[in-house]
Structure 1
Amino acid sequence: MHKTDLQLLDFVPFRLNRLAAEVSTKLAEVYADRFGIDIVEWRILVTLAAHEACTAQYIVNCTRTHKSRVSRGVSRMIEVQLIARTEAKGDRRMARLRLTAKGRTLHKKLIPLVLEQERKIMQCLNGDEYSAFVNAMNKLELSLDLVRREDGVEHE
């Protein structure tokens, strides 16, 4: 079937964006008030926890968050000593970020809480629906060249 009329509430990109925003908001309920970090800082925290160290540009690419928002988040997280920056000689753009001990402790406290929140969000799906949903997301990510990187290799 070929659509010729756009119904915004049926338009898949609009629905995906809305869904992602709402899921992020629900997850933020876990960490915003209790731990004082926002959505961007959460993304920075978990990206750094997955890697020994990486650049701010890698975080931008990985999380699809605007570079100015990542930059502000990094600055604040450095200020409150959740992350540290190691600058490359002569090129500040190549500075690598890493979690501090305080950042690793915060991450460790947050993980069970956000996993429980994810479980609550996803409980409306049965096992088959959940698997189909994850498989569909994997296919969409692959078709958009949004390949998952678990090895920490940076392609900037």
Structure 2
Amino acid sequence: MSTNTAKILTLERFLPYQLSVSSNKISGFFADIYRDKFALSITQWRIMAILGEYPDSSADEVSNKTQIEKSILSRAISKLLHRHLIQRVFCESDKRRSMLSLTDTGMDVYNEVVPLSYQYEQQLFECFDLQEKEQFNSLLEKLYKHTENLQTNI
């Protein structure tokens, strides 16, 4: 009979698990709004949000900013193109490279979703005072940068 000397993992206190569950819960609520009111998936909305902030971005740039896997991103881009919410313009000098941007219809949807996004974010932060909110954002940014450094050192 072997004895298990490994430390027990308390999943509910394990940071990657806590972040994942929190993200799923937060995104899940907002996904209902995207889907019900705008017929958008979370991935599709994130693409539109990036293009609203960074017009004329390549698919690679969108992928880097959203951390969405390229195959999932490609399918979402196809759906947005089909719905005429975004457009693709191929570069004159290199036909393999294209830039994505919101169409007028896409910009209308974007302009409707953004205030809802801020309203929901405000509701999320109601449990924090101003100092806690600033500290939370600062710590998230610090953790994100640290994980980037960890990935480059592996």
- Alignment TM-score > 0.5, same fold: yes
Aligned-pair identity (%): 27
Structure with the largest fraction of helix: 2
Deviation at 1:145, TM superposition (A): 3.2
Aligned residues: 143
Residue 134 of structure 1 corresponds to: 137
Deviation at 1:91, TM superposition (A): 4.1
1:68 match: secondary structure: helix
Residue correspondence of structure 1 range 77-88 to structure 2 within 5 A:
77-88=80-91
Structure with the largest fraction of strand: 1
Residue 4 of structure 2 corresponds to: none
Q: 1:124 aligns with which of 127, 138, 142?
A: 127
d(CA) in 1 for partners of 2:31 and 2:112?
Answer: 14
Letter in 1 for 2:14: F
Deviation at 1:6, TM superposition (A): 2.1
Residue 46 of structure 2 corresponds to: 43
Deviation at 1:37, TM superposition (A): 0.5
Please say if residues 8 and 14 of structure 1, whose CA atoms lie closer than 8 Å, have aligned partners that are also in contact: yes
Please say if residues 30 and 117 of structure 1, whose CA atoms lie closer than 8 Å, have aligned partners that are also in contact: no
1:65 match: secondary structure: coil
Structure 2 unmatched runs, 5+: 1-6, 150-154
1:6 match: secondary structure: coil
d(CA) in 1 for partners of 2:80 and 2:26?
Answer: 23
d(CA) in 2 for partners of 1:6 and 1:66?
Answer: 29
Letter in 2 for 1:46: A
Question: Looking at CA atoms only, which structure, 1 or 2, has the larger radius of gyration?
Answer: 2
Aligned Cα root-mean-square deviation (Å): 1.8
Deviation at 1:88, TM superposition (A): 2.9
Residue 53 of structure 1 corresponds to: 56
1:96-127 deviations in whole A, cap 9, x for unaligned? 11110101111011111111111112212222
Letter in 1 for 2:105: K
Letter in 2 for 1:63: T
Q: 2:35 aligns with which of 32, 37, 42?
A: 32
